[in-house]
Amino acid sequence: MNEDQLEQISLEWFRETGWETLYSPDIEAIELVLKQAETLSNEWSK
């Protein structure tokens, strides 16, 4: 078994147990939105 096979088996297990999996571009987009929201929140708090 190689690293990719282990990763795919692990991701499938998480999906079967109710977790949602994301791909890297999705995660990067979410991190960008969260960072922007934090910036806006900090500015509104001033």
- The residue whose two tokens read 């078994």 is 1
As a residue count, the chain comes to: 46
- Report DSSP letters for 9-42, one per residue: HHHHHHHHTT-----HHHHHHHHHHHHHHHHHHH
End-to-end CA distance of the chain: 54
pLDDT by 10s per residue, the chain, length 46? 998 899 899 989 999 999 988 777 777 788 888 888 888 888 888 7
Q: Which two tokens stand for residue 31?
A: 């991190």
Q: What is the pTM of this model?
A: 0.48
